[in-house]
Amino acid sequence: MTVSIVSLLPPAALALVLSLGFLGAGAMVMQLPTDVLATRDAASSLPPEGAAEPPAPPAPPRYVAMRDPIIVAQEDINGRLRVEMGVSAEDAQEEEVRAVLRDDFAPMQARLAQMILDLAATIEIADPGKFHLREALPGAARTLLNDHFEALGHGRPIREVFIVSYASR
């Protein structure tokens, strides 16, 4: 009479052995170099030898926060408005932008506050539930900041202005 090993193991033990076997095989495959696992399609999709490499994707923008919030109060904006902004600058000029925002922010802050008041006076609020001023701020602030940097001799380094916080009372 012949007895197989499988019949001697209880079903739970058999399931454990098989599971550990598959787990071990999976771990072993994960340790193999990628060229061993490359398929024919992946190998044929490689660029031919001597071909120019595709350009590297652009680096994600890095944002520089403005030192202080812009706070304005007027009837056109229904009380007081506090806006915190940040900017994304051209990579080559990021340090210059950071230095100007840190060291020469007061005149820029005054011009931004006046720009907000002027913008609030010109925006027609058709739908009171929508933030028309908030939507218009980044574009107007970008233009104003680039004009300011250009006047200082730094060109137009601001790519984007974003609103960190927007609160009105």
In this structure, the answer to whether residues 21 and 101 fall within a common structural domain is: no
**Does the predicted TM-score (pTM) go above 0.85?**
no
Range of the domain at 20: 10-44
User: E strand or H helix at 14, and its extent?
Assistant: helix 11-31
Q: Are residues 147 and 68 in the same domain?
A: yes
pLDDT in tens, 119-160: 888 876 555 545 678 888 999 999 999 999 899 888 899 999
Kindly report the backbone phi and psi dihedral angles of residue 50, in degrees, each rounded to the nearest multiple of 5, phi listed first.
85, -5
**pLDDT digit string, tens, across residues 107-119:** 889 999 999 888 8
Confidence band (pLDDT; 50, 70, 90) for 8? low
Residue identified by tokens 């193999």 is 32
Helix (H) or strand (E) holding 99: helix 94-103
Answer yes or no: is 56 within a domain. Answer: no
Angle between helices 105-122 and 94-103 (to 10 degrees): 90
Q: How many domains does the chain have?
A: 2
Looking up residue 73, the CATH number of its domain turns out to be 3.30.479
Does residue 131 sit within a domain? Answer: yes
